[in-house]
Amino acid sequence: MSNITVSDSIRYIGADDLDIDLFESQYVVPNGISYNSYVILDDKITVMDTIDKRKTDEWLENLEKVLDGKKPDYLVVQHLEPDHAASLKILADKYPEMKLVGNVKTFAMIPQFFDIDLEDRKIVVKEGDALNIGSHTLKFIMAPMVHWPEVMVTYEESEKVLFSADGFGKFGALSTDEDWTCEARRYYFNIVGKYGFQVQALLKKAAELDIQMICPLHGPILKENLGYYINKYDIWSSYKPEDEGIFVAYASIHGNTAVAAKQFAEMLREKGAVKVTVSDLSRSDMAENVEDAFRYNKLVLASASYDGGVFPVMQDFLLHLKAKNYQNRTIAIIENGSWAPSAARTMKGILETMKNLTVLDNIVTIKSTVKPETVTALETLADDIIKA
């Protein structure tokens, strides 16, 4: 079992998954993922969430080692997504006297996943309810749509610990030594990003608490400099740019649009752009592209035309941004078309379905390859987006 320490009475019983290829069958996780679960040892022993089925056996071993022959009295179900609740029935069957703690939506959804007789086993809590388990008291805070409707978080009053469900989570196993921000940002925007309004509501509730530690369901336990992490979540969930910079995302079929995009990026750097990041949408992680689009305050879209529209990977990228509520950014467009350029029209059409975006009127059209007149047009566009 991991030697991760929470406190003398709060024990970590989660597990690292280093064998998973795609988290949620879509996100590349080169350093794996952690599934976090905790036990509070008190007069009433309380388990905080279960775990993904991939690690059920390891989790049960960890739990039994901590219990040391005792039995849990409560299971708090903060989030029913299978990576956190797949082992719920196994635990419920193993300890038939254990009560399940959740909200109305939790118990409405449990039968969709498990066949469990909950008649005499459920404790239904609502906003602000408290459960005393001895020297610890659990206060329940509803967090609907962060990022499922039944989600709640739990504040332990004596040790001032926030069990934050998927909030403040990140990709990467706990055995991996890596910066929190990058993988937490990629995790946030791709999984929780659509629900910024709901995250803001939760942050307002959290601001009224004296939080000394955050225990998420993915990623490391946060014990120091909590203001840094909370500030990041405030920026991300309010859809503000985190950094000044320009993200150049290109979709190129035979390489000519790629040449133009890279040339344009160099122009931006020469003209004094603070930060310029370039990505080939066809050959990069879509989740990272979404992350960078949200991170910076300006975005350049450069794409080849395709089938009377736009190259598919660019369309996919824009639809990802739309799904995650992309807003409050300035955008420049470069299109390429050998006979009937259509990429700009299609990209603008998608962007118009989003809100609070400033799309520059100056659109550069390339006919197959970059020519001297194209260079002049790109120079003008570079000036425009830097000044915007």
**What are 274-298's pLDDT values in tens digits?**
999 999 999 999 999 999 999 999 9
What is the distance of C-alpha 320 from the center of its chain? 13
User: Are residues 281 and 317 in contact, defined by beta-carbon separation less than 8 angstroms?
Assistant: yes
Whether 1 shows a pLDDT value over 70: the answer reads no
Structure tokens at 119: 């008649």
Between the alpha carbon of residue 313 and those of residues 249, 286, 289, the distances in Å are 10, 9, 11
User: Are residues 36 and 2 in contact, defined by beta-carbon separation less than 8 angstroms?
Assistant: no
Checking DSSP bridges between strand 22-23 and strand 161-163, what pairing results, if any?
A: unpaired
Instruction: Identify the three-state secondary structure at position 220.
Output: coil
As a whole number of Å, the CA-based R_g of the chain is: 24
**What are 236-275's pLDDT values in tens digits?**
999 999 999 999 999 999 999 999 999 999 999 999 999 9
Would you call 301 exposed, middle or buried from its count of C-beta atoms within 10 A (0-12, 13-18, 19+)?
A: buried
Interval 127-133 mean pLDDT: 98
Amino acid type, 115? D
Residue 214 is predicted with a pLDDT of: 98
**What are 67-106's pLDDT values in tens digits?**
999 999 999 999 999 999 999 999 999 999 999 999 999 9
Which pLDDT band, with edges at 50, 70 and 90, does 4 fall under?
A: confident
Amino acid type, 327? Q
Distance (Å, rounded) from C-alpha 340 to C-alpha 39?
63
Q: With CA atoms as reference, report the closest residue to 274 among 251, 307, 244.
A: 244
Map tokens 């807003």 to a residue.
327
Structure tokens at 282: 């066809």
Which pLDDT band, with edges at 50, 70 and 90, does 2 fall under?
A: low
Helix axes 180-187, 226-237, angle to 10 degrees: 30
Max Cα-Cα span within the chain: 78
User: What pTM, to 2 d.p., does this model score?
Assistant: 0.94
